Chain A
Amino acid sequence: MASRTVKTVDVDAGLLAETRDALKPSAGAADDEVVERALRAYLGRRALDASQAASELSEEDALRIANEELHAMRRERRSAA
C-alpha cells in the first residue's frame, strides 16, 4: 500500500462539490478520497495522452497487437502455473 502523508490544504467548497459530482461514483467518499481521485484522473489522462501521442499504429494494428500480447501473457501464466 502506498504510504500516506498528512497535508492540510484549503479547497474551495464549490470546486470540491463539483469535483465530487464529476467523479461519480463518489457519493459518500471522504473529501481526501475525492481529491485523490481527481489527482489520479488528471495523471491518468495525462499518461494516456502521452502514450497515444507516441503511437505510430493504426487502430487495427493496435487492437491486433494488444490481443496477441494478452494471449501471450496468458500462455506464460499457464506455463508458470
Chain B
Amino acid sequence: MTQVVIDPGVLVSAFISPKKAAPALLVDAVFDGHLDVLACPALIAELTDVLGCKKFAKHSADGRATAFIAAFRDRATMTPDPPPGSVKTADPEDDYLLALAEKHDADAVVSGDPHLLDAATSELAVLTPRELAYHLGFVSTRIPANAYEIRIVESPLAGRAIRPYWASRAQLPTGPTAIGIQNWDFFDGAIVGVAIADPNRLTIYGSGVMVAPGVVLTASHSVNEYYDAVRARERQLHCIAIRQDGRAELWTLRRWIWPETKSDISFLNVELCTAAPEGWSCACLPISTRAPAVGETVSVIGFRFDVPGARGPLGTIGDAPIISQGGLYVATGQVQKLWYPQRDPIRISFPAIQIGCSTLGGMSGGPVLDQAGNVIGILSTGMETLEGDESYAAWILHAFMFKLGLVWPPGLYSESATLLDLPDTLVRIVGRNKVELTSDQEIVYEYWH
C-alpha cells in the first residue's frame, strides 16, 4: 500500500473543502484503509492548532475537529518526531515533514506548499493532493476545468494593423478579502500573469495590465530578482493572457523599462508569440490621472498561480504540457490615504494609494481600478496591521515619468516616447491634460478627483 506523509495544511483543507476535492478524497482513502499515512506528534500538534483557530470555527464547532483529529491519529502510523533529515526547504518549519518521510522511506510527501513542492528530489517525491489522487486513480484527469492551450508561432501579427480596444468594465464581486473569480477571462487578456521561464519550467510570479498594444505595467519587485538573468538571456520573461474565446496568449519580453527613480512600477514591452485570429485586437485598460479620494471604493485584481514544482509539467492537454494552474482574484476596499511623495523611505518610497483590503502574493503588479474601470494604481504590497489589512498600490502618476524605449510593434512607437506622448488611439488616458512632463523629467500635476 502506498505510504505517504500528508502536510497538515492538506489535512486542514480536507476538513474545510467539499467532499469531492482531492484533499478530501485522500483523507477518505486514509479512513477507508486504502492509503497508509505516517504521522508524528509535531504534525498532530500543528493540525490541532490550525483547526483550533477562529477562522475555522464554523467547521470545528461541536467537537468536530477533535473527533476528526482523533480518528485520523488512530488511522495513521504514529512515530516519534523525526531527527533532522538531509532534505531542506526554504521554510525550515516544513523540514520535519520531509525528515519524517525520509526516515521511514515513505513513497511521497503530499503538500500544497510551494516550499515543499520545490524540495522534491529524485529520492523523495512531493506531490500535490490532486497529483496523488490522480496516481491513486481517485480522479480521472489532472486537466483543470479551465484549461487553456498555448502554441508558439512566429510573428503572428506580421504585416497586420495592430490596434487596441478597451476592455469593458467588469462586474466584479466585492469584499475586502481577495477571492477567486470564475470568469477570469473577463478582462479578455488585458490583465496578464507575469512569468519567468527557465529551460525546465515557467513560473508565474506576478500580474500586470496591458495599457497599450504590447505595453504592460507591472510591479518591479515581483520579478526584479531575475532582471540580470533576463538581460543576459539566461531566463525569459513572458506575460500570459486569457481571451474570452478560450485562447491563451503568450507575450514575450522585448524590452524591460525599469526606472532608476524610486518606484515599484516597471514597463514591459512585450511581443505576441501565439496565433492571432482574423480581426484580432489587443485588449487594454484605460488609465486615469485622477487622484483617488479617501473613502472611494476601488478594486484590486491579479492572478495567483500554483508553482508547478520540481517535477515539471502538471500534465498534458493533448501533446501540450500544462505549465501552471491558477486563477484571477479580486479584492475591493476603500481608499484610506494617498501618500505623496512616499509613505516611508524604506518599504513604500514612492507615491502610493493605501487601500483597506487584503491581497495575495501573485496579485502584485495587478491593476487597481476605480469604479469607472480605469487603472489608477499598480498593486505593490499588502500588510497586516492592528487596524486591519492594508494594501498599497503605486499611484499611476509615477508611470508618466518614464521614457518607455518601446521597440514592439515595430514602427508603431517612438523609442523616446513617454506614455503622454502616445496618441489616444494607442493609450486612453482620462485626464491627460492634467499631467505634463517637463524637460527635466519632472511631473507637473494639476490635482483633480
Chain A residues in the interface with B (C-beta under 8 A): 22-25, 37, 40-41, 43-55, 57-67, 69-74, 77
Contacts and interface: CB of A to CB of B under 8 A. Distances in A.
Interface string B31-69: 101000000000000100110010110111001111111
Given A24-B33, A40-B71, 5 more contacts: A47-B63, A55-B16, A66-B50, A67-B13, A71-B91
Contact of B60 (A45, A49, A51, A73): A51
B8 interface: yes
Q: Which 8 A-B pairs have the closest CB atoms?
A: A44-B71, A62-B17, A47-B64, A59-B21, A66-B12, A66-B13, A47-B67, A63-B112
A31 B428 CA distance: 77
Nearest to B52: A73
A62 B8 contact: no
Interface residues of B, number: 54
Given A25-B77, A48-B27, A59-B130, A64 B112 contact: yes
20 contacts: A41-B74, A44-B68, A44-B72, A47-B67, A48-B15, A48-B71, A51-B64, A54-B59, A55-B18, A57-B16, A58-B21, A59-B130, A61-B180, A65-B55, A66-B112, A67-B112, A69-B53, A69-B55, A70-B113, A73-B53
Contacts of A71: 91
Given A24-B33, A51-B68, A59-B22, A66 B74 contact: no
Nearest to A56: B18
A73 B325 CA distance: 26
Contact of A22 (B16, B33, B63, B71): B33
A52 B71 CA distance: 16
Interface string B397-420: 000000000000000000000000
B339 to A, nearest CB: 27
A30 B25 CA distance: 30
A70 B12 contact: yes
B75 interface: yes
Given A23-B74, A25-B77, A74-B93, A51 B12 contact: no
B70 interface: yes
